[in-house]
Chains A and B, each alone.
Chain A
Amino acid sequence: MKELIKKIRNSISLSQEAEECLYTISREKVISKGEILICEGQTVKKTFFVTDGCLRSFCTDNNGKEHTLQFAIKDWWISDFIAIYNNELATLTVESITDCKVIEFNAKELDEIYTLYPEFESFQRNNLERHVVSLHKRILNQLQLTAPERYDLFLKQYPEIEQYTPNYHIASYLGITQQSLSRIRVERAKK
C-alpha cells in the first residue's frame, strides 16, 4: 500500500484524511500463481493495483482459444473495465501468471473517493490517460507493425515478462501463433 500512496503523492498532494480513507477501502492481497481474480460471465466489483508479480486479462473465443488483452506488472491497474464502466457481466478473465501482490479495491468505493476528495481526480485522469495511450499504441502497433517488430516492442515494454510467462500467453498477446513466435525468437538469437 505504501507504494501506491507514494505513487499518488508523486502526482498530487494527498491529505491525511484522504490517505486514511484509501486504507479503509483497500485490501492488500497475496495471490498464488494461477489464481483467477475475475471470471468471465460474472459480475465485476473489484479492481486491482499490482505491487509485485504479473497478471493478465484475456477473453476466450467460441472455439475455446484464449486471447490475451493485457499484462499487468508492478504499478499497473487491472480489471475488466468494460464490465465496470458499462455495468455488464465480465467478458474477460483476470488471472495471475506468477505469485503476486495486489491491492484490491471495490470499484464503486474507489469511484466514490474521487467525488469525496477532488484531488484524486487528477490522479485518476493521469491513470486513464496512461491507459488510453497504452491501448492506442497497442491497436496501432497491431495494425502497422510486423510480428517481429511487435515482439521487439513487447520485450522493451515488459523486459522481464518473458522469463515467467508461457509462450502462448505472449503469442496470444501479439496475435501470432506459437510457431511464429518460436521462429521470431530463433531469428533474434541469430542476430
Chain B
Amino acid sequence: MKVLQISKFGEITDSLFINEVNKPTIQSTDILVEVKAASINPIDKSTVLGNMQNILPISLPHTIAYDVSGIVVEKGEEVTNFEIGDLIYSRVPQEQMGTIAEFVAITNSAVSKKPGNISFEEASGIPLAGLTAMQSLEYAGIKENDKILIHAGSGGVGSFAIQYAKAKGAYVYTTTSTSNVDWVKELGADRVIDYKTEDYKSIVKDADIVFDTLGKNYTLEAFEVIKKRGKVVSVVGPIDEEIAKMIGMADYKLPEDLAKLIEDKEATYKFIFMHPNGEHLNTIKTLIEDDKIKPIIDTVYPFEKSIEAFTHLESGRAKGKIVIKIN
C-alpha cells in the first residue's frame, strides 16, 4: 500500500517521500481502517524536524500523521463496538502513528463512529485539535457563564475551543489577527480581540479560565487576566510537576516566575497532554451532529500532493485544517 513516510529528520521537502509498504496487521483489540482522509497538525511538522525525538522517539523510515477518517474493513476478535463497514474517525495512538496511508490499524478504544452530517475530509480534521481543546477545557471545568480567554482563535485548536466553550454556555474572548477577525466572530466568540490593534490585557479582566495555545510570555501573562483562584490550561507552556513525574522527571520544578504567579493568584496551572480517546470523540460527534461545532477546512490535497500539504502547514497561514484525501 502507498504511504507518506519520513526518511530522515530535517526540512520537509528533503525528509518526506511516498513509499510502498505492506498493509498493517491487526491485534485482537484493533480495527483495520481503509483510510479516506487524513489531516495534518503542527506536531507532524515537529516530528519531521526531529523535535519530538526526545519525548516520542520513532525509528525511520516511519509513516506520518495521527488524524484519520475511513471505513472499518477488518476487526480483531475482541472488538465488539465496531462492525465491518462502520464509518469512523480517530486520533491514533503514538504507537500506531501513520495515517497518511491506504490502511491503518487502530486500537478500538481510540476510535469513534464519524459524525454523519460531515464528509470524510471534514471528519479527519477534527480528532487531534478537537480532543486537545475538549480535554483542556474539561480539565478546567468549563461551565455556563464562565469567562474564558482562548488565544489564537483561528488555529485548529483555538477555533474548535471557541465553539466548544460556546456550546458549554461560556463567555468567550479570543485573540486573532485583523484578517481573521470576521470568520472567528462567526464561530461564536463574544469578543474577538485583534492583537494587531488592541491589547488583550486591557480588555480581558477576571477571567475564570485562560486557554494558552501560544506559550512563552503568553503563559505568564495569563495570570494578569485571570481572577483569583482562576485556572490556566496550556498545551504549549512549561510542563507541570504532575506531568513531569509521569514521564520520569521526578526532580522537575516549575520555572520560578511561573510558580510565583500561581502562588500570588492562588491559581491552578495545568499542562494538558492530549490523549487519544474514542468516547471523547463520540461526545464531539454529537456536538457536530447537533450543529454546535463546525469543522473548518482550509485545503484538501490529493495524496500525491501530500508533501505540498506539509509545506502549506509549515507556512503557518492555514485558516482551519489541512486535509489529505487518500481514497
A-side interface residues toward B, CB under 8 Å? Answer: 39-41, 58, 60, 63-66, 166-168, 171-172, 178-179, 182
**Nearest CB of B to A91, in Å:** 12
The 10 closest A-B pairs by CB, nearest first: A168-B117, A66-B116, A64-B120, A63-B119, A178-B291, A166-B289, A168-B289, A167-B291, A41-B85, A64-B119
Instruction: Output the least CB separation between A171 and chain B (Å).
Output: 7
Contact for B87 among A60, A166, A182, CB less than 8 A: A60
Chief secondary structure at chain B's binding surface: loop
Asked if A66 contacts B85 (CB within 8 A), the reply is: no
Q: Tell me whether B123 and A64 are in contact (CB under 8 A).
A: yes
Jot down 11 A-B pairs with beta carbons below 8 A, ordered by A: A39-B83, A40-B85, A60-B87, A64-B69, A64-B118, A65-B118, A167-B289, A168-B291, A172-B117, A179-B291, A182-B291
Q: How far is the CA of A58 from the CA of B117 in the complex (A)?
A: 12
**Distance A89 CA – B36 CA, assembled complex (angstroms):** 23
Min CB gap A152→B, angstroms? 20
Interface string of B50-91 (1 = CB under 8 A from A): 000000000000000000010000000000000101010000
Q: Are B117 and A65 in contact (CB under 8 A)?
A: yes
- For the complex, give the distance between the alpha carbons of A179 and B289 in Å: 12
Most chain B CB atoms below 10 A, which of A39, A58, A65, A179: A65
Count of A-B contacts with CB under 8 A? 41
Residues of B within 8 A of A63 (CB): 119-121
Residue of A nearest to B118 (CB): A65
User: What residues of chain B lie closer than 8 Å to A66, measured between beta carbons?
Assistant: 116-117
Residues of B within 8 A of A40 (CB): 85
Contacting residues, chain A, for B279 (C-beta < 8 A):
none
Q: Given the complex, which residues of A lie within 8 Å of B83, measured CB to CB?
A: 39
> Smallest CB-CB separation from B120: which chain A residue?
A64
* Distance from B263 Cβ to chain A, minimum over Cβ atoms (Å): 46
Given known contacts A39-B85, A168-B117, A171-B117, A64 and B291 CB-to-CB distance under 8 angstroms? no
B314 to chain A: closest CB distance in Å? 28
**Interface size of B by Cβ–Cβ distance < 8 Å?**
16
Give chain B nearest CB distance to A170 CB in angstroms: 11
- Are A167 and B290 interface neighbours, CB within 8 A? yes
> B114 interface residue, CB < 8 Å from A?
yes
CA distance in complex: A60, B117 (Å) = 10
Tell whether, in the assembled complex, residue B119 and residue A166 are in contact, meaning their CB atoms are under 8 Å apart.
no
CB pair B119–A178 under 8 Å, yes or no, is: no
Check A64–B290 contact: CB distance below 8 A. Answer: no
Cβ-defined contact, B85 with A64, below 8 A: no
A-contact 0/1 string along B201-233, CB 8 Å cutoff: 000000000000000000000000000000000
Across the interface, name the chain A residue whose C-beta is closest to B325: A63
A167 to chain B: closest residue by CB: B291
From 12 to 46 in chain B, residues with beta carbon under 8 angstroms from any chain A beta carbon are: 36
Chain B contacts with A in 290-308, Cβ cutoff 8 A = 290-291
Known: A63-B121, A64-B69, A64-B123. A168 touches B116 (CB 8 A): yes
Complex formed: what's the CA distance from A13 to B85 in Å? 45
- B116-140 CB mask vs A (1 if < 8 Å, else 0) is 1111110100000000000000000
B289 near A64: Cβ-Cβ < 8 Å: no
In angstroms, how far is the closest chain B Cβ from the Cβ of A178? Answer: 5
CB distance from A14 to the nearest CB of B (A): 39
Q: How far is the CA of A117 from the CA of B167 in the complex (A)?
A: 56
* A179 CB contacts on chain B under 8 angstroms: 291
| Chain A minimum-CB-distance residue to B83 | A39
> Which of B114, B117, B121, B123 is in CB contact (< 8 Å) with A178?
B117
CB distance from B303 to the nearest CB of A (A): 16
| A167 cross-chain contacts in B, Cβ below 8 A | 289-291
Instruction: Point out the residues of chain A lying under 8 angstroms from B114, CB to CB.
Output: 64
The residue on B at minimum CB distance from A67 is B116
Which chain A positions have C-beta within 8 A of B116? 58, 60, 65-66, 168, 172
Give A139 Cβ to nearest chain B Cβ, in Å. 23
Find chain B residues with CB under 8 A from A58 CB.
116
Q: Cα distance A63–B300 when bound, in Å? A: 13
Note all chain B residues with C-beta closer than 8 A to A178. 117, 291
Closest chain-B Cβ to A155's Cβ sits at a distance in Å of 18
Taken together as a complex, chains A and B put the C-alpha atoms of A179 and B186 apart, in Å, by 12
Task: Digitize B177-218: 1 where CB-to-A-CB distance is under 8 Å, 0 elsewhere.
Answer: 000000000000000000000000000000000000000000
Tell me whether A65 and B85 are in contact in the complex, defined as CB-CB below 8 angstroms, given that A166-B289, A167-B290, A178-B291 are known contacts: no
- How long is the Cα–Cα vector from A178 to B117 in the complex, in angstroms? 9
Instruction: Give the docked Cα–Cα distance between A98 and B237 (Å).
Output: 45
Minimal beta-carbon separation of A95 from chain B (angstroms): 10
